[in-house]
Amino acid sequence: CHRVAARRQVPDPQEAHSALRHAVLEAADSLAALDVARWRPEVADALMALRRPSAVQVPDGMRTGSITLASLATRCRAIVELALVDDGGALSASESEQRRAALIPLDHAARRGLVAACSLPWGDSLPPR
């Protein structure tokens, strides 16, 4: 066991929610500009399944705003995971790296959103989905 020098600041839920929505838009814009999409039927099916709201397993007493943020963050992480299985339609190592670079900030924002959603009992202050 080691002593913790200082307590870590947990992400602000409103800020994390806003950052996640911004990261979704940034990733979509970057990927559209790269034009490296590739059709994969199994991924299309998985993405369609993600569009349907699913029941996220949460502890009793977790507020609606936290659940909304956790659900969005979980879906974004799943999308990034599906996208990073291969290089998509990238034709060069440079395109592949640019594609990955466009997806990683979304994954980071989604992780931060999950931390924020699960760290604080902060109420229903987020806007509805």
pLDDT, one tens digit per residue, over 72-121 is 999 999 989 988 888 777 778 888 888 889 999 999 999 999 999 888 65
Q: pTM of the entire structure?
A: 0.75
- How far apart (Å, rounded) are the C-alpha atoms in residues 87 and 36? 8
pLDDT in tens, 36-62: 877 777 777 777 777 776 666 777 777
In whole angstroms, give the CA distance from residue 107 to residue 83: 11
Q: How far is CA 70 from CA 9, 111, 126, in A?
A: 19, 9, 12
Query: The dihedral of CA 82, 104, 99, 27: what is its sign?
Result: positive
